[in-house]
Structure 1
């Protein structure tokens, strides 16, 4: 075989051809977002608050971005994934609790009696959550969540729950961090349930995850210290609870906030009320083909009052069907 030697100009051209797709990707933020009002609003906001000399410049220390989780960063249908975990935990733990065979709402869970389970209401839900989330150490609970995630799949897509995350939002998290933002999750979900996986999936470390919490106790058992999760709610991180926890944990008002439901309305209001340039966004679930379409009448992720305020205040409302090229990382193409 003859040796082929490329001159310097030809070599430079070859490298350009090979690297061009990567260069384009690096130059184009948010590749899974279609060109449109939402993407434009995000990019213009980030440029305005990060460009040296900009009248809207915000120091890196003040670049706080907060995100809801369920329905904002990953799917929440047909049921909150944390609740699906709790139901599976009831079945796993049932051999240790023979009384559950005759005790509601556990009997309904074990018999897959959806009507009776739904009729148990919030009281029944809290009994299930207490039985599967408390009177256990934090480390043991984290291990239970990770074990469940490793073997469980979504009932519709049959994909692991950690793949039911929104590719456009993963790109947004990365884009903000690349521009000096600190990204926090502020969710109604239980905080340790999320901390079991958010760093690996979102790049958000445990100390930047805020959620609903149970009271806890330090105990010294069998020669080892443990933090025990107690069956008493310490803070409900939903609705007005979100600004309260942001103020308590972060200590700075966000300049960027994203949600998807009425439970996020107060978090967006709190963000909007600060001085200077602000960004408030809602994910609007409009894609029944690739995900789900729901808003004002939904029992999961209801978006009604927050949608009205977003339209009135000209917050950014992302039309999932129209503005996202992909929904999930495993999607191969847009419809």
Structure 2
């Protein structure tokens, strides 16, 4: 029996994945009825979200109560920081000092964690240590733990999304070279530049799938549900509605591709010797018709769809849904 499962609670959906070796034993998605994660929920919202998750557990006969749960990037501060080579105690002090300078939140109300991504072997080389620092407000961390308690679940660990994305789409696949992952979600887009050894950079964009739907709704005076259908049916097809649909969404598209270029330029400024080999589009927004071609044309890079089920044995009717499970699969994979 698998030791734990991955639980990804997003603002639009709840996803659960349980792996048994290289087999996807369980993969299920349900609508999040409250449109928010398990933080600052009023009792009726908490009850509704709790019921959805309990039903998922019961309907799929999940026998273990141990889970790895995601924390949305929008609720945490995460950044790759550079430090001179130093001892672990010195690093702890330096990270705390740096966090006080850049995080607009009282340091005594934050839970800080970090992992050293790279430490130069030659102390005299002048190279710096690269450290992924994650800061979670204690209020949010405690809310997640309490919410999991109401579900009767034991939290193995809480993990911000870029770590899970890197594990499922890059590390687990032993993908060569450097990749920029763009996870296009409902409310935002997460970017992470990484290879199989470490994370180099990350960024959170406020542009997600809903931004496309809203601008279609506003332009054509449509209900949001109908605008969503237009987006899914026609995507970025410049021929539809005499080009008016593409003209409507072009500002959002330009903003999103602008964010892609911003991340690429920031990475290349820090690591000019290592080019980005590809862009990986994942998340529900990766299905947007024409997006892959637009990103490839405007960046000049290879662009692929990141299917988290690649390399895993999964039910035939689920093979095409890997992009929306990228975080959940990453949560479900055993850490090396």
TM-score between both structures, scaled by the size of structure 1:
0.32
Higher strand share: 2
Q: TM-score, normalised by structure 2?
A: 0.32
